[in-house]
Amino acid sequence: MEIFISQQELADIVQELGAQISRDYAGKRLLLVGVLKGAFVFLADLARALTIPCEVDFVTASSYRDGTLPGAFEILQDLSSSLQDYDVLVVDDILDSGNTLSVMLEHMKSKNPRSLELCALLDKPSRRVVPVQAKYVGRQIPDAFVVGYGLDYAQQYRHLPHIAVLTDENN
Ligand code: IMP
Ligand code: MG
């Protein structure tokens, strides 16, 4: 397996995002909402790269891949019903087709947060089907299947400290 983004590069990316978010959310009531499972490593590091207070929560979405209708999307573990006192930043591992996050964002909007933005560690813009944009993106990548740092292939590789490209010899 080829290392695509090293542990040091990830640390630098997260540090930069943390600094940017800390500036933008100074004086606000920041709630980081991680999308499980993929966001667990990134969110843990991002929260510790902030220099401002924040609260942390998680949502779990049922996973579906290409070919499944957005209607099949299901939130398996939700947040409290109102987010009106919070500036919500949804944190996810990767923005791919945009299906998951567009439904997730609509769902969050219905809880009336003070503000709502998206932070994705990785972004594959060439794969987008639904027009979702993240205000904060760690790194744009080409259309390759990547694993590690929370990202999985069939639930494997989430624990890798770097991002690797999964090639055919691995599966
Ligand atoms: P979307 O709804 O197509 O944007 O799917 C996003 C989700 O698909 C991510 O949160 C990941 O769980 C998964 N995913 C997309 N691309 C990759 C990848 O390259 N490696 C691992 N998981 C991926
Ligand atoms: Mg995910």
Residue 83, classified by CB atoms within 10 Å of its CB into exposed (0-12), middle (13-18) or buried (19+), is buried
Options 96, 143, 152, 168, the catalytic residue: 96
**Do residues 69 and 37 lie in contact, with contact meaning Cβ atoms separated by under 8 Å?**
no
pLDDT of 68 reads 45
Tell me, yes or no, if 12 is annotated catalytic. Answer: no
For ligand 1, the distance from its centroid to the CA atom of residue 145, given in whole angstroms, is: 9
- pLDDT (tens place) for every residue of the chain, 171 residues total: 899 999 999 999 999 999 999 999 999 999 999 999 999 999 999 999 999 999 999 998 776 554 445 455 667 677 877 899 999 999 999 999 998 899 889 989 999 999 999 999 999 999 999 999 999 999 999 999 999 999 999 999 999 999 999 887 655
**pTM flag (> 0.85):** yes
Whether the Cβ atoms of residue 71 and residue 104 lie closer than 8 Å to each other: no
Q: What is the 3-state secondary structure (H, E, C) of 81-109?
A: CCCCCCEEEEEEEEECCCHHHHHHHHHHH
Give residue ranges with CB within 6 A of ligand 1.
38, 92-101, 145-147, 151-152
Query: Cα separation of 73 and 4, whole Å?
Result: 30
Q: Report phi then psi at 150, rounded to 5.
A: 105, -30
Ligand nearest to the CA of 148: 1
CA distance linking residue 151 with residue 130, whole number of Å: 21
Give yes or no for a contact between 112 and 101, defined as CB atoms under 8 angstroms apart: no
**Atom in ligand 1 nearest the alpha carbon of residue 35:** 10
Q: Which pLDDT does position 170 carry in this prediction? A: 59
Residue-level pLDDT at 100? 87
Q: Which ligand is nearest to the CA of 34?
A: 2
**Model pLDDT, residue 152:** 96
Output the pLDDT for position 61.
78
The atom of ligand 1 lying closest to the CA of 145 is: 19
Is omega for the bond preceding 111 within 30 degrees of 0, making it cis? Answer: no
